[in-house]
Amino acid sequence: MASSAGSRSQTLISGLRDFFYDEQVPYGMALVRMFLPAVALIPMTRRFFRVREIFSADGAPQQLAELFGHGTPLPELSPVLASALYGLMLFAMVCGILGFRTRMSFMVATPLYVYFNMLDAVGTMTKYSVIASHVLLILSLSNCGAVWSVDAVLRRWREGAAATAIPPRFPVWPARLLQLLFCFVYFGAAITKIQTPEFFSGEQMRYWMFSNWNYPNPLGETMATWTSILLISGYITVVWEITFPFLAWRPVGRYFALGIGAIFHFLTIFELGLLIFPFICTSCYLAFLMEKDIVHLRRFLKSVRFPMGAIGRPRIALARLIHARPAALPLPAFWALLALVVVVISAEADYRIDVYGLRRNGGPLPLQKMDPTVARTLINSQRPLREKDKFFSFDIGSMIMAGQLANRRQEFEYGDVVIAQCNINPPHEDLWVECVIEDEEQRIIDVAGQFVTRDQLYANFPYQTGNKLVPGKYWVVLKSSGQEIARRPFALTGDPESLPPMSPMLTN
- Owning domain of residue 420: 389-498
Contact 414, 492 (CB under 8 A): yes
> Is the model's pLDDT at 80 over the cut of 60?
yes
Interval 324-374: pLDDT, tens: 888 889 999 999 999 999 999 999 999 888 888 887 777 788 888 888 888
Whether 444 and 301 map to the same domain: the answer is no
* Percent of the chain scoring above 70 in pLDDT: 94
Task: Measure the CA–CA gap between 127 and 277, rounded to whole angstroms.
Answer: 8
Find, among 142, 202, 218, the residue nearest to 175 by Cα.
142
| Span 453-479, average pLDDT | 86
Whether 340 and 460 map to the same domain: the answer is no
Contact 149, 142 (CB under 8 A): no
Whether 398 and 337 map to the same domain: the answer is no
Contact 247, 257 (CB under 8 A): yes
Size (the chain), residues: 508
In DSSP notation, 292-306 reads: HHHHHHHHHHHHTT-
| Span 253-274, average pLDDT | 90
Task: Pick the last residue of a domain from 310, 344, 378.
Answer: 344
Whether 393 and 317 map to the same domain: the answer is no
pLDDT for the residue 505: 45
Residues forming beta bridges with residue 279, ordered by sequence position: none
| Span 121-125, average pLDDT | 90
User: Is the residue at 177 inside a domain?
Assistant: yes
Find, among 10, 101, 65, 75, the residue nearest to 334 by Cα.
101
> Is the model's pLDDT at 148 over the cut of 60?
yes
| Span 182-193, average pLDDT | 93
User: Is the residue at 371 inside a domain?
Assistant: no
Side-chain-facing half-sphere of 505: CA atoms under 13 Å: 15
pLDDT for the residue 312: 81
Whether 96 and 176 map to the same domain: the answer is yes
For the entire predicted model, the pTM comes to 0.84
Assess whether the previous peptide bond of 427 is cis (omega < 30° from 0): yes
| Span 109-118, average pLDDT | 97
Whether 457 and 314 map to the same domain: the answer is no
Element (H, E) at 15: helix 2-21
User: Is the residue at 505 inside a domain?
Assistant: no
In DSSP notation, 397-452 reads: ES-EETTEE----SEEETTPEEEEEEEEPSS---EEEEEEEEETT--EEEEEEEEE
User: Is the residue at 94 inside a domain?
Assistant: yes
Q: Looking at residue 430, which CATH number applies to its domain? A: 2.60.40.1930
Side-chain-facing half-sphere of 61: CA atoms under 13 Å: 27
| Span 309-332, average pLDDT | 88
pLDDT for the residue 506: 44
DSSP assigned state of 472: E
User: Is the residue at 366 inside a domain?
Assistant: no
> Is the model's pLDDT at 16 over the cut of 70?
yes
Whether 334 and 395 map to the same domain: the answer is no
Strands 404-405 and 400-401: antiparallel
Task: Measure the CA–CA gap between 252 and 247, rounded to whole angstroms.
Answer: 8
Find, among 175, 182, 168, 136, the residue nearest to 35 by Cα.
136
Whether 333 and 472 map to the same domain: the answer is no
Task: Pick the last residue of a domain from 344, 378, 399.
Answer: 344
Task: Pick the last residue of a domain from 311, 344, 377.
Answer: 344
Sequence-separated (6 or more) residues with CB below 8 Å from residue 15 = none
Cα 90-91-93 angle, rounded to 5 deg? 65
Task: Measure the CA–CA gap between 492 and 331, rounded to whole angstroms.
Answer: 83
Whether 180 and 51 map to the same domain: the answer is yes
Find, among 405, 390, 400, 394, the residue nearest to 226 by Cα.
405
> Is the model's pLDDT at 190 over the cut of 80?
yes
Task: Measure the CA–CA gap between 200 and 189, rounded to whole angstroms.
Answer: 13
Interval 470-492: pLDDT, tens: 888 999 999 998 899 999 999 98
Cα-trace Rg, the chain: 31
Whether 212 and 266 map to the same domain: the answer is yes
> Is the model's pLDDT at 241 over the cut of 70?
yes
Instruction: State the sign of the Cα–Cα–Cα–Cα dihedral 265, 266, 269, 275.
Output: positive
pLDDT for the residue 251: 80
Q: Which residue has the higher pLDDT, 503 or 411?
A: 411
Task: Measure the CA–CA gap between 429 and 115, rounded to whole angstroms.
Answer: 41
pLDDT for the residue 7: 67
Interval 212-233: pLDDT, tens: 777 888 788 778 777 778 888 8
Top mean-pLDDT range of 2-16, 87-101, 261-275, 450-464 = 87-101
Give me the torsion for CA of 191, 197, 203, 205, rounded to 10°: 10
pLDDT for the residue 232: 85
First to last CA, the chain: 64
pLDDT for the residue 508: 40
Please write down the HEC assignment for all residues of 491-505: EEECCHHHCCCCCCC
Element (H, E) at 175: helix 173-194
Interval 39-67: pLDDT, tens: 999 999 999 999 999 999 998 899 999 98
> Is the model's pLDDT at 89 over the cut of 80?
yes
Task: Measure the CA–CA gap between 3 and 289, rounded to whole angstroms.
Answer: 37
Please write down the HEC assignment for all residues of 99-146: CCCHHHHHHHHHHHHHHHHHHECCCCCCHHHHHHHHHHHHHHHCCCCC
User: Is the residue at 351 inside a domain?
Assistant: no
Overall number of domains in the chain: 2
Strands 483-493 and 411-413: parallel
Whether 275 and 215 map to the same domain: the answer is yes
Reported as a pLDDT band with limits 50, 70 and 90, residue 6 is low
Q: Where would I find the beta strands (DSSP E) of 259-336?
A: none
Reported as a pLDDT band with limits 50, 70 and 90, residue 200 is confident
| Span 414-419, average pLDDT | 86
Task: Measure the CA–CA gap between 114 and 132, rounded to whole angstroms.
Answer: 9
User: Is the residue at 125 inside a domain?
Assistant: yes
pLDDT for the residue 218: 77
> Is the model's pLDDT at 176 over the cut of 90?
yes
Whether 325 and 402 map to the same domain: the answer is no
| Span 294-300, average pLDDT | 86
> Is the model's pLDDT at 9 over the cut of 90?
no
Mean predicted lDDT score pLDDT of the chain: 87
User: Is the residue at 80 inside a domain?
Assistant: yes
